[in-house]
Amino acid sequence: MMKNDMSKIIENKHICDNIFELVVLSDIVPLPGQFYMIKGLNGDYLLPRPISVHNYQDGKLRLLYRVSGHGTDQISRMKVNDNIQVLGPLGNGFDIALLNGKIAIVGGGIGIAPLLYLMKNIESKKPDVYLGFKDETFCLEGFGPNRNELIVVTEDGNTGHKGYVTDFINVKDYDIVITCGPEIMMEKIIRACLEKNVEVYASMEKRMACGVGACLGCVINTKNGNKRVCKDGPVFNGTDLTV
């Protein structure tokens, strides 16, 4: 089910640097891995912006985003009680029924956004969580105690381990690896999993104009031909991806 609503902003909180969390009310429970197309109503920009579901609880939809252009900058300036256009939930999320065995979740930067809601939906399976950041960390507390292990990595070593998150996971220790983050990070994870015959799922990120598969602006090449990240994804099995 999908809705195109005008919603009032409950919260639009600055987390750190260019990271914000937008909160609106929603009566639709999204699937982990789905996203929404978000747009302010002031007419300063034409196209909505895709933002991942960070969490959903008690009717409150939390969307974590990074300011990376004019559209997201305008969204970040919106205030509590401002009206905002919310289209979603969109895309194919994670199929929780397929996630069995020993699981690792690997996120990098703003790519951690869809992974919190996923973890909360599979916390009974006690996944290990690996999170990598360039320097400043954010939203770590949300990943909470309901996992076996939390490994935090920063490039400068100010928090957690120093280096890259891909250096701290041995994929052959897992039955399933789930990843979202910078393309170079996901490619390395996917390759390692395919080499070790480990099942891997990736939540892909692309610029989108419509979010419903009409504009073909988010097409990626896969082993089964071109696929739309918004409609066919954003979650893909690693065996289908060309890396």
The full set of domain ranges for the chain reads 3-90, 96-240
Element (H, E) at 193: helix 183-195
CA proximity to 180, closest of 223, 240, 233: 233
Same fold, 3-90 and 96-240: no
User: What CATH number matches the domain at 3-90, 3.40.1410.10, 2.40.30.10, 1.10.580.10, 3.40.50.720?
Assistant: 2.40.30.10
Q: In what order do the strands lie in the sheet with 128-133?
A: 161-162, 149-154, 128-133, 103-108, 176-180, 199-203, 235-237
Instruction: Say what the pLDDT of residue 44 is.
Output: 67
- Give CA–CA dist 91/36, Å, rounded: 9
Higher pLDDT, 226 or 217: 226
- Give CA–CA dist 210/221, Å, rounded: 19
Instruction: Say what the pLDDT of residue 42 is.
Output: 72
pLDDT in tens, 50-94: 999 999 999 999 999 999 988 899 999 999 999 999 999 999 999
pLDDT at 215 over 90: no
> Residues 110, 65: contact at Cβ < 8 Å?
yes
What is 96-240's CATH topology? Rossmann fold (3.40.50)
pLDDT at 225 over 70: yes
> Residues 58, 20: contact at Cβ < 8 Å?
no
Kindly report whether the global pTM for this prediction surpasses the value 0.75. yes
